[in-house]
Chains A and B, each alone.
Chain A
Amino acid sequence: MTATVQDQIFEIIEEYAQIDAASIRLDSTIRDLGIASLDTIEILFDIEEHFDITLPELDPEFETDNVQRLIAIVTQAVDSNAQSSVATKH
């Protein structure tokens, strides 16, 4: 599951920032990758749209936290979405 989320996030970053997914490391920060802040908000928008989740406003600080942390946050949001949709079925 985590690997899938990771691949999908890397794909989104690759598309918006014109960075080869292979060059993204888990400990890279968005800033390390040379992604401008306008591109960052587009990447976050695309991640939200893609996973149908809402990321927290400023936690984590996406530009300075590393990619691994972003993946963890997204995974958590996706899981909690899945649980709440299960919950609504009862």
Chain B
Amino acid sequence: MHRVVITGMGAVSALGLGAAPLWRAMVEGRSGIRPLVSPDPEAVLRMQVGAQLPAFDPAQHFDDARLSLLDPISQFALVAAREAIAQSGIDFSTGDLGDRTATVIGTGVGGEASRDHQSRRLYRDNAKRIHPLSILRLMPNAPASHITIEHGLRGPAFGVTSACASSNHAITQAVAMLRTGLADAALAGGTDASFSLSGIRGWEAMRVVAPDTCRPFCKQRRGLVLGEGAGMLVLETLAHAQARGAVILAELAGTGMSADAVNIVAPSADGAARAIRAALQDAQLRPEQIGYINAHGTATIAADASETRAIHMAFGEHAKRLAVSGTKAIHGHALGASGTLEIVAAVGALREGVIPPTANFLDPDPACDLDYVPNTAREQRVDAVLSNSFAFGGLNAVLALRRFDG
């Protein structure tokens, strides 16, 4: 089995374009959550805040002819992929590397903006026809396909969907292919863009959206804050990365997946704990070797308490000594993109020895009794970290990363 490493990261988020500005905001506890910019000024919305992209101009990244094919999920994914590829310095035209590169991109929702726009035409405006490129824009595999086309990645490629865990499931599939020799390199990540009127109404109706801001794990938490964006990684086998002299950001040491198999919305601590244990076992890490967990931490009442119980179940005594933080206070819940945006926190903690805080934290909640690193970053060397994603539908995927010292 090949070892797998991360050699490039890209991020598009409420903190702007780039993994670096996202990481800086995470460390500073500076939130990208702002008053919602509504897609429909006439609609009266309950959702008041969001982690939306600031001033993203697609024309700066794509020509007109191409843009007509690109839902925002594909635009974000392509921009993030360019950054990850540039950072890795990988050249897919080398030898047969294009044929040996996999592309696995998660999305929780798919091309929501395109679907919503055409639905308005169809049902509100009584249009007789919808735009002929609609299916090509909204299909959930579109981001993966566009990345393969732009970069000539001709190996295994597909989309993955598991709501809020889509990124981590996508990365897990890429890791599995790299380990078993199906590919030498992979583009993996996730993307979502759900600030359409129907997307907003859907989240409002579930009554899980915070009216103020996202406050993971604290007593005053009121729910999640919707975000958007994309995160992308370049993954390679260790041998491939070393052979080309790449800078290795971290080792992707293990993955663990599970299904709660209980309830479509209520989270199960047992299901989450099984995924955490599976990731530790897969990475051959003992619980006490983990220094930091980037939590799923959506800031809903139920999910944060359940995740806390899961960490207790999986870590026993060590749970109290772990640093745990929820960075959705910074980038919001970007659904299928979240897991990869959170890898930026995991890699940053390993490389810089700085644990990003849980921002917007007010008072502790007895149901959440771990060390959440409230509001202020902590300098602390960590050798191994976990990044949790627990999706609606009870689908769990946890990634274990290890510092790579060469």
Contacts and interface: CB of A to CB of B under 8 A. Distances in A.
A54 B34 CA distance: 45
B133 interface: yes
B134 to A, nearest CB: 10
A42 interface: yes
A57 interface: no
Contact of B68 (A18, A42, A48, A54): A42
A41 B65 CA distance: 13
Contacts of A59: none
Interface residues of B, number: 9
Interface in A27-42: 38, 41-42
B129 interface: yes
Contacts of A45: 129, 131-132
A54 B128 contact: yes
Interface size class on chain A is under 10
Nearest to B130: A45
Contacts of B131: 45
A44 B131 CA distance: 10
Q: Is the interface of A mostly helix, strand, loop or mixed?
A: helix
Most A CB within 10 A of own CB, among B131, B132, B133: B132
A41 B129 CA distance: 12
A38 B65 CA distance: 10
B139 interface: no
B69 interface: yes
Contacts of B132: 41-42, 44-45
In the complex, the 7 A-B pairs of residues with the closest C-beta atoms, listed nearest first? A41-B132, A45-B132, A42-B132, A48-B129, A45-B131, A45-B129, A42-B133
9 contacts: A18-B65, A38-B69, A38-B133, A41-B132, A42-B132, A42-B133, A45-B129, A48-B129, A54-B129
